[in-house]
């Protein structure tokens, strides 16, 4: 127990790095995912084609390979991105590709009759999309989005391979120094706490959207 407490300050450094990467990467994910999803559903054909290539490429290749290309491949083209920003860029683009497909599926699952009813009432298409369709799509997409958010915080462990001092990197360094398995148990618990917090937040959001749908149905 004393050993576990003694290494907490070092582990905290790793936690801060992990959280910094996570939050910087997650911030653009929802706006990009929603924007790209709407564009894939209602955008011009050339844009839909480009977005199909984007989601195909980023979902069809390993995250680690994408990180290595940014870290080691871009410098050959004269593009040097600091490790922190390179990692967050890769995580943001990778996760956005998944969220794009999640939101696209959620939007397309909404009954077409709602579009037709709104059109008959003279409601513009984009008003229908943002005021009627998207609130329902968000609730449908929420469980899958939660899974992606959890996956992202676990995926940050690969930044240890590019020398960023995240939880996994700090754990490896402490173990190499002390050869005490307790440090891995502690890292396990830290990741579990972080993912549990995310699950709690998303469960609350899901319940809130559920109440919104119930109130909306009652009003109708």
What HEC string does 160-209 produce? HHHCCCCHHHHHHHHHHHHCCCHHHHHHHHHHHHHHHHHHHHHHHHHHHH
Whether residue 103 is predicted with pLDDT greater than 80 in this model: the reply is: yes
CB 142 within 8 A of CB 206: yes
Domain that holds residue 108: 2-219
| Phi/psi of residue 17, nearest 5 degrees | -65, -45
Give CA–CA dist 144/151, Å, rounded.
11
Give the end-to-end CA distance of the chain in Å, rounded to a whole number: 58
Tell me the pLDDT of the chain averaged across its residues.
88
The yes-or-no verdict on residue 143 having pLDDT over 80 is: yes
pTM (two decimals): 0.86
pLDDT of residue 76 exceeding 90, the answer is: no
Residue pLDDT, tens place only, 154-182: 899 998 888 788 999 999 999 999 889 99
Total domains, the chain: 1
Asked if residues 171 and 7 have their Cβ atoms less than 8 Å apart, the reply is: no
Here the CATH number for the domain that contains residue 97 is 1.10.3720.10
Angle of CA points 33, 39, 42, to nearest 5°: 135
**Percent of the chain scoring above 90 in pLDDT:** 49
Q: In whole angstroms, what is the distance from residue 128 CA to residue 11 CA? A: 48
Question: Of all residues in the chain, what percent carry a pLDDT higher than 70?
Answer: 95
Contact call for residues 198 and 146 (beta carbons, < 8 A) = yes
Taking the mean position of all CA atoms in its chain, how far away is CA 183?
A: 27
H helix runs in 27-82, sequence order = 29-42, 45-59, 63-68
CA atoms of 129 and 112, how far apart (whole Å):
11
Helix (H) or strand (E) holding 112: helix 112-120
Which single residue is written with the structure tokens 């907490």? 8
Place of tokens 């080691």: 72
Angstrom distance (rounded) from CA 103 to CA 145: 9
């Amino acid at each position: 127990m004393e050993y576990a407490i003694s290494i907490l300050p070092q582990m905290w450094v790793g936690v801060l790095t992990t959280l910094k990467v996570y939050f910087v990467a997650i911030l653009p994910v929802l706006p990009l995912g929603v924007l790209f999803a709407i564009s894939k559903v209602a955008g011009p054909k050339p844009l839909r084609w480009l977005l199909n290539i984007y989601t195909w490429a980023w979902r069809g290749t390993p995250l680690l390979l994408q990180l290595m290309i940014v870290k080691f491949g871009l410098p050959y083209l004269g593009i040097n991105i600091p490790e922190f920003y390179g990692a967050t860029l890769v995580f943001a683009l990778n996760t956005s590709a998944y969220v794009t497909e999640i939101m696209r599926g959620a939007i397309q699952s909404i009954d077409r009759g709602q579009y037709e009813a709104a059109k008959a009432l003279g409601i513009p298409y984009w008003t229908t999309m943002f005021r009627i369709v998207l609130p329902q799509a968000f609730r449908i997409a929420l469980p899958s989005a939660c899974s992606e958010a959890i996956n992202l915080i676990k995926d940050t462990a690969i930044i240890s391979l590019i020398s960023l001092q995240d939880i996994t990197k700090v754990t490896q360094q402490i173990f190499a120094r002390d050869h005490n398995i307790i440090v891995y148990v502690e890292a396990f618990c830290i990741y579990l706490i972080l993912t549990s917090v995310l699950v709690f937040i998303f469960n609350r959001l899901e319940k809130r959207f559920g109440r919104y749908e119930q109130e909306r149905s009652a009003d109708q």
